[in-house]
Copies of this chain bind each other. A is one copy, B any other.
Amino acid sequence: MPYMKTMEHLRADLHRLGLLHSTQSLLGWDEQVNLPAGSANHRGQQAAALADLVHREATRPEVGAWLVELEGHATALSEDDQVIVREARRDYDRATRISPDLVQRKVALDSHSYHAWAAARKRRDFSAFAPFLERQLELAAEEAACFGKTGAAAYDYHIDKHDPGLDAGFIQGLFTELSRDLVPLAAAILESPVRARTDIFRNFPVEKQEAFLREVTTALGFDYQHGRLDRSLHPFCSGVGADIRMTTRFDPDNPLDSLFSSIHETGHGMYEQGLPENRLGTGLGQAVGMAVHESQSRLWENQISRSRPFWSHWEPRFRALFAEELKGISSEELYLAINAVERQPIRVDADEVMYNLHIMLRFRLERALFNREIAVAELPAVWAELSQELLGLVPEHDGEGCLQDIHWSGGAFGYFPSYCLGNMMAAQLWETVQVAVPGLESDFEAGRYGRLLRWLRQEIHQHGRRYDTRELVRRVTGRDLSPAPLIAYLRDRYGSLYL
C-alpha cells in the first residue's frame, strides 16, 4: 500500500515543521525576554528570514500531492491518521491559498498600522488610526475571499481561524443570552454596599512574590523540568509542551497581578504540556484553538485560584512570607481583593465579571464592521454607546475606548470572542468535573490539584485537535457550549460575597 509510505512522509514532515515553528516561537520569546535594546532590527531580519524559509517548506507542492493521495484513501486510514490529514489540509490550504503578494502587503501594513495605532493612542485620536483600520478590514476581507468567504461569511472565516467549528451566528446567540443575565448581575454587584479594596497592598518584595508564585504554580502542576518562568513587559506563554516559556511581571504594590497572571499562563502552559509530545506538528499534537486554550487558563486562574478552598490552603503560606506587609489586612479583605469587581474602561484591567462585557462590546463592533452595518469613522460613537449599555460608562477619550487594544492594529479580527468563550467553557468544564470527580474542593483545601489536572489531560489535552471546539465541549460536558454555567458560577461566587 504505497499510501502508507506517503502517510509516513507526511507525519515526518509535519514533525519537522513543528520543530521549525517551535524555533520561531523561541525567537519570539527571546525578543520579549532577552533582546538587547539595539538588536531589534537584527531580530526582525532573523525572524523574517526564518519565516520565509519555513513558509517555503510548508507550502511545497510535494506536500499538496501527498494530501491529495491520502485524501483518496481517507477511509482506509486509521482514525488518528484521518485527523492528521484533515488538519494538515487545513494548515496547507491556509498557507498556500493566500498569495505571497497579499502576505507581503499584510506584513507591510501591520508594521505601519502598529505604529499609527501606538501614535494615535498616545494622542487619544482615533481619526489618525482610522485609515489603517479601514485597510486592515480590506485585507481581512481579501484574505477571507481566498477561501470563498465574502460579506458576513468573511467574519466567520476569521473566527474559525482562531476557533475551529465556531461562527458569528453561534457566538451571537451565546453572547445575547449571557448579556441578558450578566448585565443585571454586574449592576447588582457594583451597587452592593460591600466594596473590595485593591489598594491595600504596599511594598511586597518582588523576590518573595516570585518565590510564592513559583510554589503555587509548581503545586498546580506546571512542569518546570520542561518549562521556565521569566519576566517581560506583558505576560505570555509560548513554546510547545517539551519546552514552555511563560512570563510575568512584578509590581511591589500589586502582588495579586503577578500571581494571577502567572496562574493564568500556567493554565496555558499545562495544556501545551498535556498535548502528546510524539505528535508534535500534527493535528493530534496541537491545541484546538484560542477559546479552548483560554478555558484552561481561566479555569486555573478563576474557578480554582480565586476560590475559598484554594486560599484556605495558601493564605497561611502567603502570610508567612509577607507577615509584615499583610499586617492589618484581614482574611476577608484579602479574599475580597482577590475577587474585586470594578467598573472601569480598560479590558485588560477588568475582573472576571466585567471582562465578558468588554468582549461582547468588541464582538458586536467587529461583526457590524464586517457586515458593513457601521463605518470605521463611526467607531468611537458606537463604542461609547455600547460601553454605556454594557459597562455602564462612557470612555473619557479614544485612548481608553476604541484605541485601547492592540488587536485591530494587526488585523486580528475574530480573536476577541475567544476570551469570553473561554470563560464560558471554563465554567462549563468546572460544572462537569465537580460531578465527574467528587471532592475536588477538598483536594484544593489540601493544596492538591492532581486529580483535576489528570481529568483535564484525559478529557481535553490528550486529544489535540481531534475534535473541533463545539464537538469537544459536547463530548466532555454532554451538551453544547452554553452561558448558563458561567452565569451560575458568577452568581454563586460573587453573589455570596456581594449580594
Contact = CB atoms under 8 A, between A and B. Distances in A.
Interface of A: 16, 19-20, 22-23, 26-27, 30, 34-39, 41-43, 45-46, 49-50, 53, 57, 223-228, 240, 242-243, 277
Q: Is the interface of A mostly helix, strand, loop or mixed?
A: helix
Contact of A228 (B34, B46, B53, B243): B34
A201 to B, nearest CB: 26
Enumerate the 6 nearest inter-chain pairs by beta-carbon distance, A residue then B residue, closest first.
A42-B242, A38-B225, A39-B243, A19-B49, A38-B226, A19-B46
15 contacts: A19-B49, A20-B46, A23-B23, A26-B26, A26-B30, A26-B46, A37-B225, A38-B223, A38-B225, A39-B225, A39-B226, A39-B227, A42-B277, A53-B53, A53-B57
Given A23-B46, A49-B19, A35 B243 contact: yes
A447 to B, nearest CB: 23
Contact of A243 (B16, B43, B226, B240): B43
A57 B56 CA distance: 12
Given A41-B242, A42-B242, A242-B39, A53 B225 contact: no
A223 B242 CA distance: 34
Contact of A23 (B27, B37, B277): B27
A30 B29 CA distance: 11
A55 to B, nearest CB: 12
Contacts of A38: 223, 225-226, 242
Contacts of A34: 228
B22 A243 contact: no
A41 B225 CA distance: 12
Contacts of A42: 19, 22, 240, 242-243, 277
Contact of A224 (B16, B19, B36, B53): B36
A355 B34 CA distance: 35
Given A41-B242, A43-B243, 17 more contacts: A19-B46, A19-B49, A20-B46, A20-B50, A23-B23, A26-B46, A30-B30, A34-B228, A36-B227, A36-B228, A36-B243, A38-B223, A39-B225, A39-B226, A39-B227, A42-B242, A42-B277
A426 B53 CA distance: 41
A37 B38 CA distance: 30
A35 B230 CA distance: 12
Contacts of A242: 38-39, 41-42
A21 to B, nearest CB: 10
Nearest to A227: B36
A49 B36 contact: no
Contacts of A228: 34, 36
A12 to B, nearest CB: 11
A226 B40 CA distance: 9
Nearest to A41: B242
Contacts of A22: 42, 46
A34 B30 CA distance: 10
A1 to B, nearest CB: 28
Contacts of A227: 36, 39
A16 B56 CA distance: 14
Nearest to A53: B53
A353 B27 CA distance: 42
Contacts of A240: 42
